[in-house]
Amino acid sequence: MAPATTTTIASPACSGRCLSNNSSGRGYPSLSRMGSGKKSCPDYDYLDSVMSMRSTRIHSSRSFHSASIVLASDEEADLCAALGGATIGAGATMKRWRVEDLPDVGGDLDRLWLEDVAPVPNPGFGEVRVRVSHAAVNPIDWKLLDPKGSVSAFRQNAPYTPGFDFAGVVECAGDGTDLDVGERVIGYLGLCELSSLGSAPGSTGGSSGALAEYLCVSECRVAVIPGHSDPQELAGLPLAGLTAYQGLFTGHGGRAHKDGGPLGDLKAGQTVLILGGSTAVGSIAVQLGKAADARVVATASSSPAGILGSKSFATKLDWVRSLGADQVVDYTAEGWTGKLGENEFDMVLDCVGEDEELGWAARVLKPGGCFVSVGVKDPKVPQGAEFRFARFIVAASGRDLGDLVTLTEQGKITVPVDSTHDFGELRAALERSRSGRAVGKIIVTVDESAMEEAAV
């Protein structure tokens, strides 16, 4: 008989201060099973130092209970076969998108190519291999194709497979993982975590990206999704949802603004201005703000929104209102900032990244308020400004993602889907994102049968 291996199955019990029981008292019980109970998940230490921000673990007082079970390795193999039946042998191949020769690409989408016969990756310690059903496209995917562009610091080492967001099924679990084969998961692979700038443990300076039939990912970066959930919709949740969540509430990384204050600390009863309510990030932020009992004001335009879910919206203003915003301001109207009250806001979450927005923030933010931006390139904080400014990069966190999955289960947030594209149509999906007009997430169907077969 093969030697027994010990697998720790963690059952989380949240007892400390986090979004789930912050001073708003609302409570967001976590369904996430990821990372909980893992004493040595390197990602969580890394989150504290990502982007050189000083860390204060303001949400760090979670405690977890865990129990151990013992499985013999041949029993594990039987279990794998019974649950997924899909562990694939040596020499197996898959399709994946590739970016070659990054220095010459310069944003040219024709330099992307679909490789038909690529090796299926094998999970390392703490990793799972996921059979991908859907991936989501994000602005970062096309921004990375321009080596001299705004995100040049995060360049990937070519050749690489693009894509950061995925939904799929755990097809094989490496040593040191708690996930079961056959579980449905979503995840954000992590820009900082994978790029050459990243100093995360295991950083490859490249990416085993989401736009492939299989990928390997640290289990710390994924969250389990319920069997009945829609993988197409949830594939769009990770990057945009984590950005909104961490920007508004800091999240489990516990990152601080460089002057020491928390990055995003929205509380019930406070007022937040969300710049770009019709961006994917902003649309989730509006819903999160309302779920936290904050007053939410958002900007959007009167351009057509179209059909989202089962409803049709004449304009993006209408759509953002339907997400729960208390007030929506047309940012294309002359003098629109005049509609915002003096010292009205505790926080601005900027989901657009226009440099000039900071100029008027001093008037609308309360003294001591916070301006959190996902994209301002050259922040010029006005002299004598009494607000705090933070520019941040989202961190890959399975725990935060688990909280977001819980909120979708509770019906508190939905993920808007702008369009879906076949796996072979990645360029069209990237063009749609690059148009800057998307209304929600752009989804690529990689292999729909992945989820269906897992359900059998």
Ligand X SMILES: NC(=O)c1ccc[n+]([C@@H]2O[C@H](COP(=O)([O-])OP(=O)(O)OC[C@H]3O[C@@H](n4cnc5c(N)ncnc54)[C@H](OP(=O)(O)O)[C@@H]3O)[C@@H](O)[C@H]2O)c1
Which residues of the shown chain bind ligand X in the complex (CB under 6 A)? 138-140, 239-240, 243, 276, 278-281, 299-301, 303, 316, 331, 351-354, 374-375, 393-394, 433, 436-439
Q: Number of helices (H) and strands (E), helices first, in the chain?
A: 13, 19
Specify the residue, 354 or 409, whose C-beta has the smaller distance to ligand X.
Answer: 354
Specify the residue, 26 or 258, whose C-beta has the smaller distance to ligand X.
Answer: 258
Residue type present at position 206: G
State in angstroms the smallest separation of the CB of 15 from ligand X. Answer: 29
State in angstroms the smallest separation of the CB of 1 from ligand X. Answer: 49
Q: Do the beta carbons of residue 130 and residue 167 sit within 8 Å?
A: no
Pairwise CA distance, residues 394 & 401, whole Å: 12
* 280-291 and 238-249 helices, crossing angle to 10°: 50
Residue type present at position 282: G
Contacts of residue 157, defined as CB under 8 A and 6 or more positions apart, other chains included, come to 102, 196, 204, 205, 206
State in angstroms the smallest separation of the CB of 166 from ligand X. Answer: 16
| CA-wise closest residue to 165 among 191, 186, 195 | 186
Residue type present at position 202: G
State in angstroms the smallest separation of the CB of 279 from ligand X. Answer: 3
Q: Which residue is listed with tokens 């010459």?
A: 104
- Could you tell me the CA-to-CA distances from 13 to 10, 16, 33, 35, 412 in Å, in that order? 9, 9, 10, 12, 21
Specify the residue, 177 or 397, whose C-beta has the smaller distance to ligand X.
Answer: 397
Residue type present at position 401: L
State in angstroms the smallest separation of the CB of 54 from ligand X. Answer: 18
Beta-bridge mates of residue 10: 66
Specify the residue, 35 or 353, whose C-beta has the smaller distance to ligand X.
Answer: 353
Specify the residue, 89 or 335, whose C-beta has the smaller distance to ligand X.
Answer: 335
Pairwise CA distance, residues 356 & 100, whole Å: 36
State in angstroms the smallest separation of the CB of 23 from ligand X. Answer: 26
State in angstroms the smallest separation of the CB of 57 from ligand X. Answer: 20
* 238-249 and 398-409 helices, crossing angle to 10°: 100
% helix, strand, coil for the chain, step of 5: 30, 30, 45
Q: Do the beta carbons of residue 67 and residue 446 sit within 8 Å?
A: no
State in angstroms the smallest separation of the CB of 278 from ligand X. Answer: 4
State in angstroms the smallest separation of the CB of 456 from ligand X. Answer: 34
State in angstroms the smallest separation of the CB of 3 from ligand X. Answer: 44
Q: Do the beta carbons of residue 137 and residue 144 sit within 8 Å?
A: no
Specify the residue, 156 or 279, whose C-beta has the smaller distance to ligand X.
Answer: 279
Specify the residue, 92 or 153, whose C-beta has the smaller distance to ligand X.
Answer: 153
Specify the residue, 240 or 443, whose C-beta has the smaller distance to ligand X.
Answer: 240
Q: Cis omega (within 30 of 0) on the bond before 159?
A: yes
State in angstroms the smallest separation of the CB of 331 from ligand X. Answer: 5
Specify the residue, 266 or 281, whose C-beta has the smaller distance to ligand X.
Answer: 281
Q: What would the two tokens of residue 311 be?
A: 């409803």
Specify the residue, 84 or 198, whose C-beta has the smaller distance to ligand X.
Answer: 198
Pairwise CA distance, residues 173 & 16, whole Å: 30
Q: What would the two tokens of residue 102 be?
A: 């990054």
- Could you tell me the CA-to-CA distances from 49 to 38, 60, 186, 246, 393 in Å, in that order? 19, 15, 24, 15, 12
| CA-wise closest residue to 223 among 35, 442, 411 | 35
Specify the residue, 19 or 372, whose C-beta has the smaller distance to ligand X.
Answer: 372
The three-class DSSP label of residue 378 is coil
